[in-house]
Amino acid sequence: MDVSIIIVNYNTVSFLVGAIDSILAKTKNIEYEIIVVDNNSNDDSRTILSEKYDNKVIYLGLSENIGFGRANNEAAKIAKGRNLFFLNPDTVLLNNAVKILSDYLDNNHCVGCCGGNLVDVNNKPNISYLRVNIFSVFYELNEICFKLLSKMKFGKNCYYNHTNKPMKVKCIIGADLMIRKEIFVKLYGFDPDFFMYHEESELESRVIKMGYEIYNIPYAKIIHYEGKSFNNNKDKIRYDYLSRNMYIHKTYNKTIIIIINILYFIRIKIRLFIFIILRNKEKITLWSEINKQKIYYLSKIYN
């Protein structure tokens, strides 16, 4: 089999149906399977998928919510595809993206994983990849400068490929990540320490360390609604922050970690200052919660 399309569901059955419908409508001339792994949802997804798709979808129900990466790992154990395509439920394929990405992997043996161009619901460019290492010193400096450094370095192709040519990148956004199964198995899959967020970046950093490259393929096009499986803002911020710290401690040395955290602290304070001046209550609440998470994390370390 060419591709195993793996989708993790957690109470997003309405989006999930849209994603599966688009796969069935757009995916042609390639042998594939669809595996939905469910993190103990209460959205009646098993019944809905069974009635709507019958044997077109393999349903793997879990007894608890084990997180994004670990759920994908469970699906990968039963996957038959030569390539694994990790697709978010809040996505819609706009063309034969599965075949486009799979063919690129098959024809370029130096490439370990790839992804397409993501757009939002209004067909506007969405963040599809990163061209610098996430949470690196450059990344934090760039964020402090409101992404000015990356715009100066990469122009309009910072996060979305406006060319018609494949582009080497540092990290594909996890909404549409395709990877060779043999590589995934050798790396033991997603790191189970991550519950959600940034596990794809950590995996891809290990793919690069193995000597493989990562590419964005712009003519594979997908809508990404973003974050529809997680609505509790405080929990989202907490998990994002925990995963951020886990990532940097697994990836960088102690000196770099100190510098990164200092820059991150500066970024938080600058954002808070600016949004207080602008009286943007929503952003003040967001960055205050991020600041609270950082203070809590530091207190856990030094107490």
268 and 126 belong to one structural domain: no
Total structural domains within the chain: 2
Q: What confidence tier does 97 reach under pLDDT thresholds 50, 70, 90?
A: very high
213-224 and 111-119 strand pairing: parallel
Q: Is residue 247 part of a domain?
A: no
Q: Is residue 102 part of a domain?
A: yes
Q: What confidence tier does 297 reach under pLDDT thresholds 50, 70, 90?
A: low
34 and 144 belong to one structural domain: yes
- The Cα–Cα gap between 189 and 204 comes to 10
> 196 near 243, Cβ under 8 Å?
yes
34 and 177 belong to one structural domain: yes
| Mean pLDDT computed over every residue of the chain | 93
C-alpha dihedral, 223 to 225 to 228 to 232, nearest 10°: 150
pLDDT greater than 70 at residue 301: no
Q: Pick from 205, 224, 243: which residue ends a domain?
A: 224
- The Cα–Cα gap between 152 and 172 comes to 21
Q: Is residue 242 part of a domain?
A: no
What proportion of the chain, given as a percentage, has pLDDT over 90?
A: 87
Kindly report, residue by residue over 158-187, the tens digit of the pLDDT.
999 999 899 999 999 999 999 999 999 999
23 and 143 belong to one structural domain: yes
The neighbouring-strand residues paired with 93 are 222
Q: Is residue 135 part of a domain?
A: yes
> 41 near 10, Cβ under 8 Å?
yes
pLDDT, mean of residues 236-258: 92
Q: Is residue 144 part of a domain?
A: yes
pLDDT, mean of residues 18-38: 98
220 and 265 belong to one structural domain: no
Q: Is residue 234 part of a domain?
A: no
130 and 262 belong to one structural domain: no
Q: Is residue 285 part of a domain?
A: yes
Bin 6: left if φ > 0, else alpha if -120 < ψ < 50, else beta.
Answer: beta
What does the block give as tokens for 29? 């001339």
184 and 86 belong to one structural domain: yes
9 and 151 belong to one structural domain: yes
- The Cα–Cα gap between 17 and 5 comes to 14
pTM (two decimals)? 0.93
What CATH number does residue 60 fall under? 3.90.550.10
What's the angle, vertex CA 41, arms to CA 37 and CA 46, rounded to 5? Answer: 60
pLDDT of residue 228: 54
pLDDT of residue 166: 98
* Domain range for 265: 253-302
Q: Is residue 248 part of a domain?
A: no
Q: Which amino acid is at 176?
A: D
33 and 146 belong to one structural domain: yes
